[in-house]
Amino acid sequence: MIRQPKDINEQTPWQEMTIGGEIAGPATSVATMTGEWRSNRPVYIPENCKQCLLCAPFCPDSSIPVTEGKRGDFDYDHCKGCGICYKICPFSAIQFVKEGEPS
């Protein structure tokens, strides 16, 4: 039985890691927080949003959740702050600010 990702961390000895770094289970990227790479952050302004949903498919990190045909706020655990959504939004419903600065 292959060892599960939750049982492997930066303290795991080499003997107990999966062979060749294989990762067991589906969608394990959800558990890996990559949002900390971000230096700029998109900010969602719902009052300007027309729910055209142009932003969601352009997001390269699937960090704009869409449920029942409507987008919600950003998934900041995985958004890397590339700014594509800000560029693509036709309605100024997305601001782009420096990480750490208030919107």
Partner 1 sequence: MSIKDRMSGNEAVAYAMKQIEPDVFAAFPITPSTEIPQYFAQYAADGKVSTEFVTVESEHSSMSACMGAAAAGCRAVTATSSAGLAFMYEMLYVVASARLPVTLACVNRALTGPININNDHSDSMGARDSGWIQIYAENNQEAYDNYLQAMRISEHPDVRLPIMICQDGFITSHAVENILLEADEKVKTFIGRYEPENYLLNSQTPLAVGPYDTCPYYMEHKVQQAQAMKNAKQVILDVAADFEKAFGRHYGLIETYRMEDAQAAVVLIGSTAGTARACIDEMRVEGKKVGMIKIRSFRPFPAEEIAEALKQTQAVAVMDKSEGFSGCGGPVFAETAGALIGLPKIPMMIDVVFGLGGRDCRVEDIRRVYAHLFEMIENKERGPVYLHMGQRSNEKEVL
Site residues (vs partner 1, CB under 8 A)? 2, 10, 12-14, 17, 19-26, 28
Q: Kindly state the smallest distance separating residue 11's Cβ from partner 1, in Å.
A: 9
Place of tokens 């995985």: 78
- Specify the residue, 28 or 103, whose C-beta has the smaller distance to partner 1: 28
Task: For the CB of residue 38, give the shortest distance to partner 1 in the complex, in Å.
Answer: 18
Give whole-number Cα distances, 68 to 53, 65, 71, 76, 99, in Å: 12, 10, 8, 20, 30
Q: How far is the CB of 9 from partner 1 (least distance, A)?
A: 8
Phi first, then psi: give them for residue 19, nearest 5 degrees.
-65, 130
